[in-house]
Amino acid sequence: MAQILTTPLSFNVRRHPPELIVPAKPTPRELKLLSDIDDQEGLRFHISVFHIYQGNPKMRNKNPASVIREALAKALVFYYPLAGRLKEGSARKLMVDCSGQGVLFIEAEADVSLERFGVELQPPFPCRDELLYDVPGSNGILDSPLILFQVTRLMCGGFILGVRFNHTMCDGFGYAQFMTTLCEMAKGSSTPSTKPVWQRELLCARDPPRVTCTHHEYDEVADTNATIIPIDKMENRSFFFGHTQISAIRRCVPSHLKHCTTFEVLTACLWRCRTIALQPNPEEEMRLMTIVNSRLKFQPRIPIGYYGNVFGYPAAISKARDLCNKPLGHTLDLVMKAKSEVNEEYMKSVADLMVIKGRPGFTKVGSYIASDVTRAGLRELDFGWGNAVYAGHDCHLASFYTRYINRKGESGIIVPIWLPSAAMKRFVKELDNMLAQDNNNPVIIQEHVSPHSKL
């Protein structure tokens, strides 16, 4: 059976007043343009990440909030644009005013230990809004702090670091690079091991701009069937996929696709199960967008140290009927082909499309987004207390695949899924069926008859 991870728990958090942390030294006052990949509508939001650390006897006399606060001021000297504020110019062009106004920081204490979180530590987190408080007036895109930190100390000596950052400023790898510098400063370094690189012009539109690739992720699709589900109508659960679960899914893969990656086969499985669970109209077009890091796709390559957004999210498209009723190989083939589309020309075409079409957002109708952050190095971020026991994104817009070691010592991937309650039950059932497939028996594809319900 698919392992459903839940954490029913409540506790009290006492927060100190929010404060602004400014760079430890004077920094340049200037305007810096974002790239045409950075400022697209689909990235104009704040995204949250949680880092959970156990207590460390060697750090018993250290306050993690004080350590991180001091390190943050030092790191912002090198990443001074993050201490600024976004402005919008003509044609919706975003730029950062490097004003040195600082990032928000909250110190807090909670009357709970990590042991009371239950069997596992993973999303959905209890009292999530208490662990990362939404300071009133702080969550705007323009003229608002670009990062919010909350360090919550626990009774056991461990702590939870919640971070919310403006996605236009950096992607997952850029975030990890900044946080690595923060860890280095916390442990006594005076300069980052990887120097930050701005150079956002590398991902700006050509002159003249010209769309040379197909970008179904930005198609304009009317929500005629009311398929966009409000967040307050959805349930969030996390699923653990270890070697046993991945091997079970791979048994459904046809021989000519056996070279697929773990991300590809898992994403194909989840897209198919999710579509079945949602019971869409059989003729409805369903989209899967996979986040593809394109740093290595450029010649010459994007410089090491570049911390802006360097990813595309190409869309695989299929009729709901085909996703639900054809073997997994059909879905997997679509996922692999979509991922393979992303190259330097593709990214330049996206930048040009943004300028030509007014920086549109991605298509939300019938869409599912999957992102692999298992290689971002989030668990290895060490402020002096050792590696995190959990580190991952918290965002209902996409399923972020996160590395995890459970209490049994099994290494695997945690995937958060957001679905309406009734659909979540069907999702679990369908996933369980797939994980229980017997490789010695022919796979019988049962046609899924949809009642045309979005729930």
Give the pLDDT score at 226: 65
Output the domain CATH number for residue 103.
3.30.559.10
Active-site option among 97, 322, 382, 448:
382
Q: Greater confidence, 222 or 220?
A: 220
> Is the predicted pLDDT of residue 151 greater than 60, yes or no?
yes
Six token digits for residue 325: 């009723």
pLDDT, average across residues 165-192: 97
pLDDT > 80? residue 193: yes
In a domain, 445, yes or no: no
**Is residue 197 situated within a structural domain?**
no
Residues 266 and 122 in one domain: no
pLDDT, mean of residues 62-75: 98
- What is the structure's pLDDT at 448? 41
Give yes or no: residues 57 and 133 share one domain. Answer: yes
154 & 279 share domain: no
Q: So what's the pLDDT on residue 452?
A: 37
- The answer on 106 and 26 residing in a single domain is yes
Query: Considering only CA atoms, which of 330, 332, 322 is closest in space to residue 285?
Result: 322
| CA R_g for the chain | 22
Q: For residue 204, is it within any domain?
A: no
pLDDT band of 8, cuts 50, 70, 90: low
Same domain, 69 and 155: yes
Question: What does pLDDT average to over the chain?
Answer: 91
User: Is 455's pLDDT higher than 90?
Assistant: no
Among 127-131, 208-212, 375-379, the least confident range? 127-131
Cβ atoms of 175 and 49 closer than 8 Å: yes
Helix (H, G, I), strand (E, B) or coil at 288: strand
Is 281 found in the same domain as 144?
Answer: no
- Residue 24 forms part of a structural domain: yes
For position 419, what pLDDT does the model report? 93
pLDDT band at 446; cut points 50, 70, 90? very low
Alpha-carbon span 416 to 419, nearest angstrom: 10
| Confidence at residue 118, expressed as pLDDT on a 0 to 100 scale | 56
Q: Is pTM, for the whole model, over 0.85?
A: yes
Whether 185 and 235 map to the same domain: the answer is no
- Among residues 167, 171, 215, 393, which one is catalytic? 167
Q: What is the pLDDT of residues 256-309, one digit of tens each?
A: 999 999 999 999 999 999 999 999 999 999 999 999 999 999 999 999 999 999
- Spatial separation of the C-alpha atoms in residues 314 and 226, rounded to whole Å: 23
pLDDT confidence of residue 313: 92
Residues 185 and 224 in one domain: no
Q: Which of 176, 192, 208 is the last residue of a domain?
A: 192
Q: Does residue 330 sit within a domain?
A: yes
In a domain, 157, yes or no: yes
Q: How many domains are there within the chain?
A: 2
Claim to verify: residue 276 and residue 413 sit in the same structural domain: yes
pLDDT of 453 over the 90 cut: no
> From CA 91, how far away is CA 85, in angstroms rounded?
18
Distance in angstroms (rounded) separating the CA atoms of residues 303 and 196: 10
Residue 265: exposure state from Cβ atoms within 10 A (0-12, 13-18, ≥19): buried
**Same domain for 266 and 149:** no
* Section 164-176 average pLDDT: 97
Whether the per-residue pLDDT at 4 is higher than 80: the answer is no
**Tokens 């930190």 -> residue:** 149
Domain that holds residue 298: 216-435
For the segment 81-140, what is each residue's pLDDT rounded down to a tens digit? 999 999 999 999 999 999 999 999 999 999 998 888 754 567 777 778 899 999 999 999
| H or E, element range at 293 | strand 292-293
Show Cβ contacts of residue 124 under 8 Å, excluding neighbours closer than 6 positions: 6, 7, 236, 237, 238, 416
Mean pLDDT of 194-205: 97
237 shares its domain with 149:
no
- Over residues 39-49, mean pLDDT: 95
More confident position, 212 or 439: 212
Does residue 346 lie within any of the structural domains?
A: yes
Q: Give the model confidence (pLDDT) of 225-238 as tens digits.
A: 666 777 777 888 99
Does a structural domain hold residue 169? Answer: yes
Query: Would you call 382 a catalytic residue per the annotation?
Result: yes
385 — pLDDT class (breaks 50, 70, 90)? very high
The length of the chain in residues reads 455
150 Cβ partners below 8 Å, 6+ apart? Answer: 15, 105, 106, 107, 108, 131, 132, 133, 161, 162, 163
- In the prediction, which pLDDT does 120 show? 54
Same domain, 168 and 241: no
